[in-house]
Homo-oligomer: A and B are copies of this chain.
Amino acid sequence: MSESRARSPQQSDSRMGDVAERAGVSHGTVSNFFNRPHLLSAATREKVAAAVDELAFVPNDAARTLAKGTGNTVGAVLVDIGNSFFVDIARGIESAAAEAGLKLLLANSDVDLRRQNDYLDLFDETRVRGVILAPLDGEQLGAARVRSHGRPVVFVNWPGEDEQSCGVIVDEQHGGYLAASHLINLGRTKLLYAGGPLHLHAVADRLAGVERAVAEHEGVTLEIIETHSLTTKVGRILGEQLADRHADDRPDAVICAADSLAVGCIEHLTSAGVRVPDDIAFTGYDNNHYAAESAVPVTTIAQPGREMGVIAAGLLAEEVDNPATHEHRTVVLKPQLVVRRSSAQ
């Protein structure tokens, strides 16, 4: 190693000192150039800018973080990056964080509590300014808060308000209500709600909304089938069950707790000669891409995933910028009905 700059083995970055020297100013002035440019005269500003440019200077984030005591990175842990809902949330967080000048450390817990906690520890080590967490369903949140070591946390898609943190959730009940009301207004009276397992808060809340809509209307009945999961395959099995029933015994409208379920079910029914939506109308949930693209496009409830991410990042940015005056709050978003052929008139 006979290089003149043996500091770091591979790349040689320039430091503020180099920039200062080149621009003929001091150390601190370069720092001011980046952090409080209004303190510099126009002339100095230009000199520094030129030097920064010529050296392709990039401030060292570690040094800055150390000196400031805190960086401007935020962390996000999402339960399942394979689920397009969370991918949308991630996209939202990403863009809002970028807008607020925050860097994003994105992690995926893959529905594994240990991994979720590992990531929270990692964020602690990195001294992130805050954390956005889409936790496992049904989990206690105390641990998450402890692990984040007093840093601000925003919960996404965690049911229930919370005194010590902000949150963003969707009104799942309202989604169920929208779906059921839509079908009832179409004149359907024999409703079936399919989804499960019911201990998932989303599945249960959607059902509650459906029940509310049903209760508001005379002469509408509701049947409930709990499934053990929400896959297309399970949907197809559900389709078989319905096809096997006597026509009079079938519902005239089915509310599925997920699009995948609806798609599978519809597929089997149409192949068995049951007409959708004529004989049975369908609604799904989530507005996944294949809901729009399947053979019979599925009416669905769209979750505002991207918006949730944007809002979560916004709440976090607000808390981070203004810890003293910040007041915790939970934002509840309304899902939207998207009508397609599976429930056309």
Contact = CB atoms under 8 A, between A and B. Distances in A.
Interface string A67-88: 0011100000000011010010
Nearest to A64: B62
A205 interface: no
Interface of A: 7-13, 58-63, 65-66, 69-71, 81-82, 84, 87, 90-91, 94, 98, 103-108, 110, 118, 121-122, 124-127, 149-152, 231-233, 236, 260, 264, 267-268, 270-271, 290, 293-295, 323-324
Interface SS, A side: mixed
8 contacts: A7-B69, A11-B149, A12-B150, A60-B125, A62-B66, A66-B66, A82-B87, A233-B293
Contacts of A149: 11, 13, 58
B66 A63 contact: yes
Contact of A65 (B62, B105, B323): B62
B290 A10 contact: no
A323 B10 contact: yes
A332 B85 CA distance: 33
A89 B341 CA distance: 36
A124 B81 CA distance: 25
Contacts of A110: 91
A148 to B, nearest CB: 9
